[in-house]
Amino acid sequence: MKEATNNQVTSGHRKRASLGIGISALALVLLVALLHGIHLVSPKSIETAIDQNLGPESDLTSVRQFMDAHHILYTGYSPELHCAYGKIYRSSIGLQKGYIFIEFTFNEDGKLASYKVLELFEFAWE
């Protein structure tokens, strides 16, 4: 009888220990996700979309249409620099607020010459 009670105590202790380890592991995963962030949009996916949809013959109008189709906020055009700018807010979730900045550079003929895609981060309290 005493042995059966001991087995029940040991079994209950194991269950509590397993539950504690599981909760600790889940808390660690959530902490890492909060600190590091979870990407919603990756800069690589934007670069791939640009490579697939825009070519050297693309002009400002086709770049603007591309930006609208891919939910990229048009933030302006600099005629002196021949550059159009776009932004994607909230590219990641976490303590670091991420956003993606995109710069399209055009040649003198108004055709797409190059582009840059940068992901920038701010802390949530900034």
Q: Where are the domains of the chain?
A: 1-36, 38-123
Tell me the per-residue pLDDT of 50-106, one tens digit each, with 9 for 90 and over. Answer: 999 998 889 999 999 999 999 899 999 999 999 999 998 877 665 667 788 999 999
Q: Which residues pair with 74 in a beta bridge?
A: 86
> What is the sign, positive or negative, of the torsion defined by CA atoms of 42, 48, 52, 54?
positive
Residue 3 has pLDDT above 60, yes or no: no
3-state secondary structure of 111: coil
* pLDDT the model gives residue 42: 79
Q: Which two tokens stand for residue 8?
A: 């029940």
Annotate 14-34 with three-state secondary structure. HHHHHHHHHHHHHHHHHHHHH
Query: Which string of DSSP letters, residue by residue, matches 79-99?
Result: TTTTEEEEEEEEEEESSEEEE
Strand partners, 117: 102
Tell me the C-alpha distance between 113 and 116, whole Å.
Answer: 11
Global pTM? 0.65
